[in-house]
Amino acid sequence: MMRETPASLMTTDSPNTSTPLLQVRNLRTSFNTPDGKITAVAGVSFDVNHGETLGLVGESGCGKSVSALSIMRLVPNPPGVIEDGEVIFEGVDLLSVSNKEMQGVRGAGIGMIFQEPMSSLNPVLTIGRQITEPLEEHLGLGRGAAEKRAAELLEMVGIADSRQRLSDHPHQLSGGQRQRVMIAIALSCEPKLLIADEATTALDVTIQAQILELMKNLTSQLGTALLIITHNLGIIARYADRLNVMYAGEIRESGTAEQVYLRPGHPYTIGLLNSVPRLDRPASERLDPIEGEIPDPANLPTGCAFRPRCRWATAECEIAEPVLEQVGDRQMVACYESSTVVESVEAVWK
């Protein structure tokens, strides 16, 4: 199946695999609230390469979901405003294209799956109609061809009796099946990038495993890049090639999964890894959690936002915010003390 890129989205040099598929540059998104302006995403930059799986991990309010919504230009406005930055997808800055062109990108260029499939699916339309709609819209297929393709897609995501299922409504499906339908819709136009925002968080453990394996297998078959957004460190460890760790609106550490999990350089990453009870380690008597609370986004600490909870904080951390700096081959850490941190952690973990 071929996908026609709208002429206006074509660039002079067609994107090749050496330039990243998606380049997010200095993205800033804020919300105007009665308590004042909240900067949910405060200058985030990262790349997604063709066909790779990138993880975006962090706790609630860290800005991971708002980053994804900003890429898709789905931030509700008002109160949300994308203030600054560039989202370059296949060579085009999505923040400067028209709404109509953006509609072409959503679905055909970038697919997205959310946590709660029930609220993303239209309850009064059949499953079939919801899959055929983007096929007709983006690919210009006729009704008959679209229905045939929809049945194939349902089969691809592991839904049995796909022909009959097309006439079902969302409420007739289980949570896992709904998420399978969402994947079928998101992949229907063979996008280059699939964004999964806490897509398996609401599912039971055994169903979560099914959906994750399905998502990973399909994206690698189709060559689709996958951006997994989750708070679950285990999911990222299993599926992501690289990851970004976010805290209070910014990326604090990035690198390959091996680097970040086995040789973390940011105190927040270390704190996260020490907070979760882990089946791969002996059951310990006590966890070693990060102290304190996630800061109020309307009232962030000065300097490094993690400073009040950090064991390694010095006077310097109070003055200016550290920026991401290269610490290894592909690893970046935003911390003044990262060399001390790495040393002391290696001493403890060995």
148 near another protein, rule: CB under 8 A = no
Enumerate residues 240-269 that contact another protein by CB under 8 A.
Answer: 257-258, 261-262
Stretch that binds another protein, among 46-54, 115-123, 126-134, 174-182 (CB under 8 A): 174-182
Q: How far is the CB of 174 from another protein (least distance, A)?
A: 5
174 near another protein, rule: CB under 8 A = yes
β partners of residue 93: 88
348 near another protein, rule: CB under 8 A = no
Q: For the CA atoms of the chain, what is the radius of gyration?
A: 21
319 near another protein, rule: CB under 8 A = no
Q: What is the DSSP letter of 259?
A: H
Q: How far is the CB of 239 from another protein (least distance, A)?
A: 8
Residue-wise over 151-181: b if at least 16 C-beta within 10 A, else e? bebbebbbbeebeebbebebeebeebbbbbb
300 near another protein, rule: CB under 8 A = no
Q: Using CB under 8 A, which of 25, 73, 263, 278 touches another protein? A: 278
Q: How far is the CB of 12 from another protein (least distance, A)?
A: 39
Residue-wise over 185-205: b if at least 16 C-beta within 10 A, else e? bbbbbbbbbbbbbbbbeebee
Stretch that binds another protein, among 5-13, 98-106, 188-196, 273-281 (CB under 8 A): 273-281
* Residue ranges with strand state E in 109-249: 110-113, 193-197, 225-230, 242-247
Residue with tokens 């708002």: 66
Q: 120 vs 208, which CB is nearer to another protein?
A: 208
Interatomic CA distance for residues 229 and 65, integer angstroms: 7
Interatomic CA distance for residues 177 and 198, integer angstroms: 16
Stretch that binds another protein, among 10-18, 78-86, 125-133, 285-293 (CB under 8 A): 285-293
Q: Among candidates 161, 159, 134, 132, which has minimal Cα distance to 148? A: 132
Stretch that binds another protein, among 9-17, 64-72, 181-189, 270-278 (CB under 8 A): 270-278
Stretch that binds another protein, among 36-44, 45-53, 108-116, 228-236 (CB under 8 A): 228-236
Q: Using CB under 8 A, which of 294, 300, 301, 321 touches another protein? A: 294
Q: CB–CB of 331/265 below 8 Å?
A: yes
Residue with tokens 């790349």: 47
70 near another protein, rule: CB under 8 A = no
Cα dist from 120 to 61, 127, 157, 170, 323, whole Å:
21, 12, 17, 10, 36
Q: Using CB under 8 A, which of 291, 318, 325, 346 touches another protein? A: 291
The contact pattern for another protein, residues 44-63, with x = CB under 8 A and - = no contact, is: ---------------xx---
328 near another protein, rule: CB under 8 A = no
The encoded tokens of residue 215 equal: 């998502």
* Chain contacts with another protein (rule: CB under 8 A): 59-60, 174, 176-177, 204-210, 213, 231-238, 257-258, 261-262, 271-280, 283-291, 293-294
